[in-house]
Structure 1
């Protein structure tokens, strides 16, 4: 018999705190590695895109249906810590790349936690995701200046070890997970599925298990697919901003601490997004918010050529704050839209698949944004590309909406 727990109260808020910590560590760690990028590039005498590709970590597999969410997060978190310890001992850029890629399992852990949080809430989900996403603000505001300070004292190797220690807290996040069982019938259906699989020995059983555990049926929903594409594009932009903003500011002539403070301004923008989203949700539908905020992110990133030409610190601060504010509201809107179109029993994998898209976008940005700098000697073109992709990522959702309006009109005319 399943232990059916009420939503929107009790352990649900513990899940929110867990998601807050996980997002703070995941985003803050990526920003910290961005601050360390100039030192790593100098240490290993390599090109920017090599380090950027290593920092843009890969995704963890969707294993939370095969194992418990608790075990999945804890195992991936341990591997993340091992990756940082290995990175602190790196003697070649190849070794460093392998070590930093291993740290990418933290992204998978964060996705599982967000999936569990989505299942725990109905009425207060808007408030819950706003609180958890505030972890991004905490990570972005605190980690860059702290990383620069630690690097000045302990060097990049010592800082890597300290990052390993910080990411040990992800193991605690995993230990706090308590999978939610919404319905006894749902558990019985799952047990029936497992029982039938044990009886079947023909070749199709492997395919059936794969479809079940990964919830591949999600990709038959065009709304879900459009959100996955949007998340890939949004991650491309956000990762490029996370990794290359501080090096970009230093390239324009600003001091390391001045440059790292720009990321803190972005964190303030994300915090405002988390405060404003539950209020805006009362009057503005999520889809409308998504369109408006995407236009804002496109504008903010597109300001870079003007800001760079004047070497304006205020301009960089303004564009960073506006970009992260708008991006924060957009991501919160997407999470709510995913919850609206996906059933509870598929939510964890829905978040995981969106994180797969996020990781693909992050890896692409780590490579291309750095490669463009290596070729042109300037980050301006990289930020222009981020602006363009921010707008292009919305195109599938726009096509789906236009198709829906067209279909509705045709049916109404019959």
Structure 2
């Protein structure tokens, strides 16, 4: 029996507002990918150095998911959103003023730190308002991250071509302040204590079945998240640069990134529906296997049409992986710790993206191609699959041994 707040009309209204905020707040982590070729030329650096601003963006984004998630647990989502919106705009301003790749990277750390509010903290917040449809609700909010990546690179392409990346960043700073702050005030309503108690009783049995403490499970999920996201980062971070290398140009790469992320939106929504039936662990395992297959398809593909097709397949394969971690946390861990626990696990996935983005650039500099970088991603993905298989078998065996 759920409380009236769960899956209510207000829950769905809040979900729509949260998605709108996420679509704007998340753009900072994608904009740096689009401007990477221009930045590399302007500052005269190698591919690994040009990846450094993205890496620090993801480091800030990862740390922010944990720190900002804890802040939301304590103070609520509205004041935290307002502070982060100001921080994002300030980070864009520092990036505009940067005169070196290191200065830009430090500015991007600030952008990433603020941008984090649009991911894990919003996912944790919306998870409190749903029980029966939590999977699809979490998937919709998580899709804001991919919608941002699918929409904004196309919108910024014209500004980037005509006026340069600094003007594009100025537009993003103003947009963030104008949209995020007013919408934040619409999320002031707090979760009733009774709703937390209902969610906690549902998660206690799942937690016992794993045989792990919340802390141990969080660390295990974090390790799995690093593995899957090192793999995920290869196409997402380097597809624009890969297309430049092949002679197709950055505009084609931006289109492939948008196609990949639009596929990811569809994948996240489908995974959310599946998770409401299968649970987070099985849904995550399915996505990880499909991602490994999609990565392998990139190896023989360098023609224009095949790259478009494989990019779409990749997006459709991996979009539901990261939201599934949040669902596993909510299924197995205390509700009142949702912001911190979801934030910690998503921080690990984002650190995997940061590590993988840099690692792929380094492998390219050493080998002169991205082939070994794709193989590297496939191997890291195998670690994630192994952990999910173990967790699934562990929960099943312990559940079977428990008395009825």
* Unaligned residue ranges in structure 2 (runs of 5+): 198-211
Q: CA RMSD in A?
A: 2.8
Question: Any idea what SS the aligned residue of 1:64 has?
Answer: helix
Greater shift after overlay, 227-236 or 291-300?
227-236
Residue 389 (str. 1) matches residue 373 (str. 2):
no
Asked if structure 2 preserves the Cα contact closer than 8 Å seen for 1:85 and 1:161, the reply is yes
- Shift of the alpha carbon at 1:407? 5.3
Instruction: Name which of 174, 181, 191 aligns with 2:184.
Output: 174
Which of 182, 193, 198 matches 1:183?
Answer: 193
The answer to whether 1:372 aligns with 2:363 is yes
Shift of 1:180: 2.9
Can you list the C-alpha shifts for 1:320-359, whole angstroms capped at 9, x where unaligned?
A: 2222212123334333222211222111222211232133
Alpha-carbon distance in structure 1 between the residues aligned to 2:72 and 2:323? 23
Q: In the alignment, does 2:82 pair up with 1:97?
A: no
Residue number in structure 1 paired with 2:48: 49
Deviations 1:269-292 (A, max 9, x none): 123224433543466454333222
- Structure 2 counterpart of 1:324: 315
Q: 153-162 vs 350-359, which deviates more?
A: 350-359
Measure the CA separation in 1 of the matches of 2:243 and 2:307.
8
Contact 1:234 1:358 in 2 (8 A): yes
What TM-score does the superposition give when structure 2 sets the normalisation length? 0.83
Distance 1:346 1:170, change over 3 A: same
State the distance in 2 between where 1:22 and 1:68 align. 15
Is residue 35–residue 144 contact of structure 1 (8 Å, CA) maintained in 2?
yes
Aligned equivalents of 1:346 and 1:306: distance in 2? 45
Contact persistence 2:26–2:115 (CA under 8 A)? no
TM-score, normalised via structure 1 length: 0.81
Which position in structure 2 is the counterpart of 1:6?
A: 5
Decide which moves more: 393-402 or 76-85: 393-402
Question: Residue 400 in 1 paired to residue 386 in 2?
Answer: no
1:68 equivalent in structure 2: 76
Please report how far the alpha carbon of residue 136 of structure 1 lies from its aligned counterpart in structure 2 after TM superposition.
3.4
Structure-2 separation of matches of 1:184 and 1:127: 22
C-alpha separation between the residues in 2 aligned to 1:143 and 1:45?
A: 26
Structure 1 286/355 Cα, relative in aligned 2: closer, same or farther at 3 Å?
closer
List gaps (5 residues or longer) in structure 1: 188-217
| Aligned 8 A contact 1:33 1:243 in 2 | no
Give the equivalent residue in structure 2 for 1:133.
142
**Do structure 1's residue 251 and structure 2's residue 245 form an aligned pair?**
yes
Residue 240 in structure 1 maps to residue 265 in structure 2 = no
Contact 1:140 1:266 in 2 (8 A): no
Which residue of the partner structure matches residue 194 of structure 1?
none
Aligned residues: 376
Match of 2:259 in 1: 265
| Cα deviation 1:278-320 (Å, max 9, x = unaligned) | 543466454333222211101111222211xxx2122222222
The match for 1:276 is 270
Q: Provide the rounded CA distance (Å) in 2 between the counterparts of 1:73 and 1:256.
A: 33
Instruction: Name the SS of the counterpart of 1:254 in structure 2.
Output: coil
- Per-residue deviation, residues 121-168 of structure 1 (Å, max 9, x unmatched): 112222322322332342232222222221111111111212222332
Q: Which moved more, 1:49-58 or 1:234-243?
A: 234-243
